[in-house]
Amino acid sequence: MSGAHTRIKLCGMTRAEDVELAVALGVDYIGLVFAGGSPRHLALAQAQPLRALVPASVGVVALVMDAPRAEVEAIASTLRPDCLQFHGSEEDRFCASFGMPYWKAIAMGDGADPALAMARFPSARGFVLDGHGAGEAGGSGRSFDWTRWPRDQHRPVLLAGGLSAQNVALALRTARPWGVDVSSGIEQAPGAKDAAHMRAFVAAVRAHDAAS
């Protein structure tokens, strides 16, 4: 059996039962969305009881998009996520100023060179390459050409956009990312996850790891 371990992030959680199942499935990260334009958007008061369900063994990622400094500070101090994820036009200095690790989402829907975009964020702990276009919040369920995956990266990069249990193994074989990030591909409705889809997605990733 291989020692490969693809990190799994299940994003856009809004319900306690979905968080509990994600934890039981042994995923690596749970994403909570604070981007105002997202159908998975949470108020801080909604997010706190979800955060309380996550043990220290699972990372919590708080997703924001062009949020004011005060809002990001409130999320960081109240929720105490393990990582911030920035999806907007934020610059590296702003993202790094909150004293915690951050990932930067890179929009792949416009055909731009991801390596150039990633170079603008030297402080980023990692990146999320998503199929959305620039200025969009992600979670669109759109994939991109996985052969455009940047090579020779020394920082973690997660693949997002249009992933599901049916195509994640192919995505992993093609891009060979550090991790995968899924939201709409495990849902019955925006923000409401489907337990069977969650189980199937995690099983597909683990089966790929075992075989590779």
pLDDT of amino acid 151: 78
What does the alpha-carbon distance between residue 6 and residue 81 come to, in Å, rounded to a whole number?
21
Place of tokens 């052969």: 147
pLDDT of amino acid 39: 92
pLDDT of amino acid 137: 53
Report the chain's terminal Cα–Cα distance, integer Å: 8
pLDDT of amino acid 109: 75
Phi then psi for residue 179, to 5 deg, are: -155, 170
Confidence (pTM): 0.94
What does the alpha-carbon distance between residue 78 and residue 44 come to, in Å, rounded to a whole number?
8
DSSP letter assigned to residue 41? B
CA 21 to chain centre: 17
Using 50 as the pLDDT threshold, list the residues of the chain that sit under it.
Answer: 1
Q: Does domain 7-211 have CATH number 3.20.20.70?
A: yes
Domain ranges of the chain: 7-211
What does the alpha-carbon distance between residue 176 and residue 150 come to, in Å, rounded to a whole number?
10
Q: How far is CA 78 from CA 34, 49, 54, 72, 119, in A?
A: 13, 11, 15, 10, 31
* Diameter over CA atoms, the chain: 47
